Chain A
Amino acid sequence: MNRSEKLSLRQATLWFMMYQVGSTFLYLPRLLSDAAKQDAWLSILLAVGLHLLLFVPLLLSISKQVGENSFGRHMESLLGEKVGRVFMLGYIILFPFVYFVISLRALSDFLITTILTETPPEPISVLMLIAIVCAVRSGITTIGRTAEILSVIIIVIFVVTILTLMPSFHFEYFLPVFEFGGKPILHGALLLVGFPYLESVLLLFFAKNMTPTDWKKAVIRSALLSGFAFLGVTFFTIGILGAGVTSNLTMPSYFVTRTITLVDFIERFEVLVSMFFYVTIFFRLTLFLQIVTQGLAEVFRLSDSRILLLPLCLITLAFQKNIWPNVAVSQEGYKIIPFYPVVVGILFSLLIWSIGKFKQRKKSA
């Protein structure tokens, strides 16, 4: 991996935004309306607020401690060389790699239940893996440029979908506001904070590819942009289907676009949404695989991480089938996944932050 690879502010913002929109996009309205009913949109505002006010300052403080180092080297300087490497290896396998496997499964789950119903899951995963391996092999800068190009498509699809949904929008589906009080709204917000905002701890791996101010801006802006996307999709899904129907559908943001008909002539907008999902999950998977290879290369002191890509993909494919038996089970899974980053996100970052502070104080004393 070339150390001098740089990401510009815009590239990083768009990449992180699409990563966060990634797999949450399809399931989010269901999760939120299940927890907060018609107040789901308030949950999103609360979640973005919590993320920006509580978690982002912690991340910024850690990124200051990391400084010019790479994240892996920083861990070694905190925990000692051997312990740091073992810890890092475990962390990479347990967090980015597991999420990589699960996100790939989410893609094949989506396609075989909606569009390619007769296709076995393997070809879908393999085709996606080929694209991801090509992207990660070409390096971070190339991925950043790809994000710039594809984000235009994403934004156009988003705007077109929202505009065509406008005519069937019902404001009365949001009334009464605060029907069940504050607790369900907080519950919904916690689901969104865990999946995907707490995963932002992974963005620390890219701090060395940018200037500190650019990194800070990219983290904040990407959270705001993805929050806006979540707000848009949840608002329109509930405004058209109602909170009750939304919480009963597997993929409400996909289903809602099937209701679009313009003068009985322009229909089947759902394929646009699957394109949206396909592109965003591509960036999500790319980010995970990039972190896994980069992290492993640091742990094992490799000068070139690209040689690890194909073996890792083989392991991923082997695990694909057994993550969950079918899509119905995965729905229960998505209710649990948001609480995993409480440990690998909050506890982990609090741990390295406090060790870093302790070491700093020791040095100055």
Chain B
Amino acid sequence: MIILIVMITLIAVFLEYRKLIKKGKKRELKISAVILSIGIALSAVRISGMNLPSPFLIIRFVALPISRLVSMMLS
């Protein structure tokens, strides 16, 4: 499933890149390629079956102490 999604995204992105190359927008191309390669790397990690860290961990780290404090004070 993920492989298919990555393939289709890649095709769509390269169609967009062709337009950018014609317009000569190098900066956009570079930044987008960096983000795209991060995306491909993360998808590769997922396809290989390893677990990525959850983005929720950062929320948990910041908000759990505040949440505990508030429920302690208000219950």
Contact = CB atoms under 8 A, between A and B. Distances in A.
A322 B67 contact: no
Interface residues on A, range: 35 or more
Contacts of B36: 310-311, 314
Given A184-B75, A187-B74, A187-B75, A310 B9 contact: yes
A307 B32 contact: yes
Most A CB within 10 A of own CB, among B45, B51, B62:
B62
A98 B63 contact: no
Interface string B23-56: 0010111011001101110110110000111111
A186 interface: yes
Interface in A119-150: 120, 122, 126
A304 interface: yes
A171 interface: no
A303 interface: yes
A98 B59 contact: yes
Nearest to B8: A126
A184 B74 CA distance: 6
Given A98-B59, A311-B32, A324-B54, A303 B25 contact: yes
A336 B35 contact: no
B46 A315 contact: no
B1 to A, nearest CB: 5
A310 B9 CA distance: 7
Q: Is the interface of A mostly helix, strand, loop or mixed?
A: helix
Contact of B53 (A102, A184, A302, A322): A322
A244 interface: no
Contacts of B2: 122, 317-318
Contacts of B5: 122, 126, 314, 317
Most A CB within 10 A of own CB, among B6, B27, B43, B74:
B74
Contacts of A314: 5-6, 9, 36, 39-40, 42-43
B35 A183 contact: no
A358 interface: no
B39 A318 contact: yes
Contacts of A102: 55-56, 59
A307 B46 contact: no
A79 interface: no
B1 A122 contact: yes
A303 B39 CA distance: 22
Contacts of B45: 318
Interface in A81-129: 94, 98, 101-102, 120, 122, 126
Contacts of A323: 54-56
A342 interface: yes
Contacts of B32: 307-308, 311
A337 interface: yes
A321 interface: yes
A318 B13 CA distance: 17
Nearest to A325: B54
A319 B55 contact: yes
A339 B54 contact: no
A311 B38 contact: yes
B64 A319 contact: no
A303 B27 CA distance: 9
B72 to A, nearest CB: 11
A223 B30 CA distance: 40
A246 B52 CA distance: 34
B59 A183 contact: no
A318 B5 CA distance: 10
Nearest to A335: B67
23 contacts: A98-B56, A102-B56, A122-B5, A184-B75, A186-B74, A302-B28, A308-B31, A311-B39, A313-B39, A314-B6, A314-B9, A314-B39, A317-B2, A318-B46, A319-B54, A322-B51, A322-B54, A323-B55, A333-B56, A335-B67, A336-B63, A339-B70, A343-B63
Given A102-B59, A335-B67, 6 more contacts: A120-B1, A183-B75, A310-B12, A314-B9, A323-B55, A339-B63
